[in-house]
C-alpha cells in the first residue's frame, strides 16, 4: 500500500467522539487497518455493476419465511430492573451526559 487513506489525526478524532483512549501503537495499528479496508473498498468500487439490479435483502429469497426467524413475544424485564443498571436516574428516566452542545 503506497499512501494511507486515513491519518492518525482522523483516528484521534474518532477516538475522541467514541471517548476512547488509544495508545500511539493502537493509533498506528488502527490507521493501517482502516486504510487497508478503505483500499479494499476502492477495489470494490472498480467492479462494473451497471447491469446488476439493486437489491435490498441479503436472503436468497426475501419472501421465503424459512429465511427469517419466527417472531414470538417474550416477557420483558421491569422498569425497576432496567433502571437498576443506570449510573444515574431522575424520576424513572436514565440520565446520560450531554452529547450535543448548543
Quick check: is 22 in a domain? yes
Q: What are phi and psi of 53, to 5 degrees?
A: -70, 145
This model's pTM is above 0.75: no
User: CATH code at 43?
Assistant: 1.10.20
Quick check: is 88 in a domain? no
Quick check: is 96 in a domain? no
Q: Which residues of 66-101 are buried (b: 16+ CB within 10 A; e: fewer)?
A: eeeeeeeeeeeeeeeeeeeeeeeeeeeeeeeeeeee
CA-CA-CA-CA torsion sign (22, 23, 27, 30): negative
Quick check: is 86 in a domain? no
Residue-wise pLDDT tens digits, 55-97: 766 666 656 666 567 778 888 889 899 899 898 999 999 999 8
Q: What are phi and psi of 25, to 5 degrees?
A: -65, -45
Amino acid at each position: 500500500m503506497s499512501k494511507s487513506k486515513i491519518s492518525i489525526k482522523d483516528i484521534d478524532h474518532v477516538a475522541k467522539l467514541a471517548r476512547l483512549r488509544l495508545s500511539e501503537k493502537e493509533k498506528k495499528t488502527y490507521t493501517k487497518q482502516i486504510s487497508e479496508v478503505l483500499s479494499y473498498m476502492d477495489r470494490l468500487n472498480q467492479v462494473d455493476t451497471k447491469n446488476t439490479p439493486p437489491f435490498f435483502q441479503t436472503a436468497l429469497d426475501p419472501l421465503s419465511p424459512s429465511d427469517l426467524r419466527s417472531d414470538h413475544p417474550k416477557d420483558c424485564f421491569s422498569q425497576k430492573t432496567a433502571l437498576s443498571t443506570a449510573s444515574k436516574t431522575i424520576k424513572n428516566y436514565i440520565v446520560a451526559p450531554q452529547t450535543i452542545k448548543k
